[in-house]
Structures are given as C-alpha cells and as structure tokens.
Amino acid sequence: MIWKAAITLLAAGALAPAAVVSAQDAPEPLHERTALTDLPLEGARAAMQLEHVTLSISVNPQSRQIAGDASYRVLAEDTLDELVFDLDPRFAVRGVSVAGEQLDDGRWTSAEGLLTIHLAEPLLSGAPIDVRITYDGAPHVARNAPWEGGFVWSETPEGKPWIATAVQGEGCDLIWPCIDHSSKQIGTLDLIVSVPKGLVAAGNGRLIGTRDDGDRTVFHWQARDPSNYGIALQIAPYEVARRDYDSRFGNAIPMMFFYLPGKEEGANRLLGEMSDQIAFMEDRFGPYPFADEKVGVAETPLLGMEHQTILAYGNGYPREAYGHDQLLQHELAHEWFANQLRHATINHMWMPEGITTWTQPLYLEHVRGTMFYDAEMWRLRQRVWSRVPLVPPEGDLPDYNDREAKWGDDIYFKGAWIMHTLRYLVGEQALFPALTRLTYGNSNPVPGETKPISRTTHDFRLILEDITAQDLRWFFDAYFYQADLPRLAVKRDGRTLTMDWITPSPFPFAMPVEVRIDGRNRTLMMEGGHGELTLPAADTHFLIDPGNRILKHDAAIEAWQNRDSRD
C-alpha cells in the first residue's frame, strides 16, 4: 500500500485525479468483523485451504452492484463438520452447493460477516471438496481508498465508468467469500469478470481470453498463488501499452500498462522506467516472481496499491525531480515485498511495507548517487514516531489508521530505517543475501520455480543470525518489540568521552557507534551497551554517528514532530 502520511512529503504534486472522480455516496459503516482483517483463525477457518478458486463477477456500474459466482476446491487440513467463509453481510447469498448438491437454506447461514456451511458428514483431514456460492449486492464503497478500502465507482473525463477495488486494510470479504487472513494462500485463481461492452477488466495473472455476451464482454484471467487482498477489479475503457522485458536471468517478461484514452505517452514512458527498476530489483534481490504471468499496471481513480501482477496506479504521470515516478516504483517493488514475500499476520506488516519503502532511497542511490539516498533517508526519518511496538504481540490487531499510535506510519518509515541501520551493522554482503533467502526461501531463486512465502520478523532474525553468525536478539527486541527508540547518553569529562545505550529491552543494546574526531572516524564497539574513549584534548570537537546510520531517539525531531501540540 502507498503510505498515506507521506504523499505531500515524498511525492509533492502526486495527487489522485480528483477532478475525474465522481462524488461518492456516503458509505454505510462496515460490520465490526468485516472492517477487520487477520482476525484469529479458529475452527473451520483455520483448517481450510483453498486449492483453487473460480471467481466469476458481473459488474453493473449503473446500479453499483455486483453478482458473484464463486467455485472452490477446498482441502481439509483437519476433520471438518462445517465450512466457514468470511463475507461482508451486505451481500445476499443466493445459493450454496457442496459436492454438486444444492443445499437447502437450513444447511447454511450467513450472518455477522460469516458464511457457515454445515456438512452432511464430516470431511476428513486431507480430503478435498467442491463448493459453490452465489451472491449479489451493493458492495461497500471506499471512504478513502486505498487507506480505507472498498469499491471506487468513478468516471473518466469522458463520463465512462472507471471502477477499482482496494481492500488491503479490510480484507477480501469486501468482494468475495474468502478466508480473510494473511496466512491463507490460494493455489490457483480463475477470475472471470463481466462488464458492459466498451469496458475492459484488467485482472491478475495471464489473460486466457475474452468473449462477447450480448451487450457485455467477459474477461478471463488466470493467476497462481494470488494473495487475498491482491485480487482486484480494475475496470475502464482501457487501452493497453505492451512490451517485453529481457531479464538478466535469461527469460522474457511481458509488460502491460492499461491506461485511459489519451495517456499513451505517459504509459509508455512509465514502462521504460519500470524496465530499469526491474533490472535493479533483480540485481539486488532476485528474479521478478511472476515472470510466467506479467508485469501489469492499471490506471485507477485511487492513488496506488500492489495488486499482484496488476498494480493500481493513480499518480497522474507527473514529471518528478527524482527522474522517475516514485509511486510506481514503490508499487512495483511490492511484487517482491508483499506479493512474493508476505507477512504471516498483519502484525508483521512492516516487512513488506518497510523493505519496499527502503528500496526507494536504494534505487535513488543506484541511479542518482549517495546524496539522493541520504536525502531520502532524512525525509523518511521525520516520519518515524515509535509510539507503539512495530511488531505488536500476536493476537493484538494493530490499527493502520490510528492517528495517535501512528503504527500505520511506522511500518513504512521505521521499517525502512531499521533496514538502513542493518545495512550499517551487518553490511551489504550479509543483508542482501539474507533478504533474498527471506523472500524466496533459498539463496539461488530461479525464474519459474518461485512461490510466495509467508514470513515473520522472527524468521528474518534467524536468517540474519545464520548468515552473520551473530546473536541479534538485542537488535530485534529493541527495534521491533519495544516502542521507545534506543537513546544514546553521551558524557564528556575532560578528555574522557563515555557513551551508554538506554533502551527498555532486557538485552544490552550493542550497537557500534562511529565518532568523528578531527576529521577521522573511529568506531566504538559498545560491548554491553557501553563505550569509552579518550579525546586528543579537552576541547576537541567530536561528532556522534556522522553518517547518520543508526535509528535512535532524536530530540530535535521529536520537538519538531510535537510542534503543533505545544502551548
């Protein structure tokens, strides 16, 4: 997801095309359960695996309604007496069948955000079963997509329907019956979308074909391993810019940009930018994960979202001083960190968001030099709040939009700064191989042989410790599981300079500290969180952390952040 608080900070002028967005009806509040994603898995939801989904959706722009027909191949991971799907209760369930048998209404219930199907006999562990659900209704209208998600019913400048979905914060149950949890993977997806003739439905994966259906057109897309929230509807009178990207791994990757009429020049320019960005990402981290399908982008009336192989782009094709479109680069990087590397639960959402945000200054360093990297890191540092732990305890659901806690900022900016500090601590020779192993599950990923992998912060620590042969519990506890940033207490007594790290962590914070003395840098190893050195003279000027590589408490930034709350 694109970060909300930094639109003006990092992408000045990069506004969603509000002039073409029609007024939205005031959306009704979501049901309490439906408004949340990653609620604890229990019962049947914990023991169901969706091996295959065929999701057919007919979209009616005039009435702002959809009709869905969803077929599933469900694999039981434990003995089941019932099947349970998450589904927004504003949808009416019209029919349910199991193993080809149409069920009477008494065999299933749809209430309180859950569709429960009672089985005639237990489904044994390891056994598959076929399920079909038909439903329809007016889906939830997004209040402020993509941060407060749902459907966006808009119009192009010519008055044609322009529709998009974004449901990362609320979950897939805003669109279709699903298991709304990050850990639940889908094997394969057939997405079949029916739209009024003249419109195009851009979808996940590969386009299998289109067909006429009276005054409508049906688009059939097929995808492997899609994430729940990455399945999206993006509909407009699109035209398509195409080219192939020749990967350094020897394979050709199809690229498709679905743009509104009149935007061909911008779409082709961004395809060129994306080619350079793919080359950078493949060099640093590994092969593009979905090369067998496509690199896809669709112009949308919402700002952006990392929908798998069909990224939402609503930045308006600006010319930026960076030399490339920052928003599109962010969303493209999510194909590696969000769609390939997935957080096991929302509590570890910093991983895809923070690492992706860090790729932005990294890419700037690659194309523009060190000054651009440092300048971007300074911009990001101003948005680190650290009021709550970056990784909340399992079972506690963090609120992305909590304006006081600002966890929704920290998963981007604090996450990026932790990566920046790790680069200083362990070095690139350890960090980049660790990220490759974290992302693909091995150190030598091969195109066509990669599958998405779900990870936790603990997984990341174990991989780094294996590569570096260091115990990094002190680092991970201080930065991920404690709210307060480490503080460096510095004391000068004549020629003696002492430093002590102060954190609420039970582990001594052993972060080495560089000190610049008379133009030369010296590193204190800070064993046990303490360090001491002798200055050449009592009045010698010194500078702590001259490269600004360590994420630590900064009184000046804190005062600046709190400037509006002063009396």
Known binding residues for Zn(2+): 330, 334, 353
Whether the Cβ atoms of residue 133 and residue 95 lie closer than 8 Å to each other: yes
3-state secondary structure 478-502: HHHHCCCCCEEEEEEECCEEEEEEE
Helix axis angle for 350-368 and 407-426, nearest 10°, is 60
- β-partners of residue 242 are 256
CA 240 to chain centre: 25
- C-alpha 86/C-alpha 284 separation (Å) is 38
Q: Report residue 428 as tokens.
A: 């690139």
CA 406 to chain centre: 17
Q: What residue numbers does the annotated binding site cover? A: 330, 334, 353
Whether the Cβ atoms of residue 346 and residue 38 lie closer than 8 Å to each other: yes
- C-alpha 161/C-alpha 166 separation (Å) is 17
Helix axis angle for 457-468 and 428-440, nearest 10°, is 130
State the amino acid at position 354 in one-letter form. G
Q: Report residue 414 as tokens.
A: 């604090």
- C-alpha 319/C-alpha 433 separation (Å) is 34
- C-alpha 35/C-alpha 113 separation (Å) is 9
503: exposed, middle or buried (C-beta count within 10 Å: 0-12, 13-18, 19+)?
A: buried
- C-alpha 112/C-alpha 124 separation (Å) is 27
* Terminal-to-terminal C-alpha distance of the chain: 35
Q: List Cβ neighbours of 64 (8 Å cut-off, separation of 6 or more).
A: 138, 139, 141, 151, 153
Kindly write down the DSSP assignment for every residue of 408-471, as one continuous string.
HHHHHHHHHHHHHHHHHHH-HHHHHHHHHHHHHSSSS--TTS---EEE-HHHHHHHHHHHH---
- C-alpha 109/C-alpha 91 separation (Å) is 13
Whether the Cβ atoms of residue 198 and residue 216 lie closer than 8 Å to each other: no
- C-alpha 510/C-alpha 475 separation (Å) is 8
Which one-letter DSSP state was computed for residue 292? Answer: T
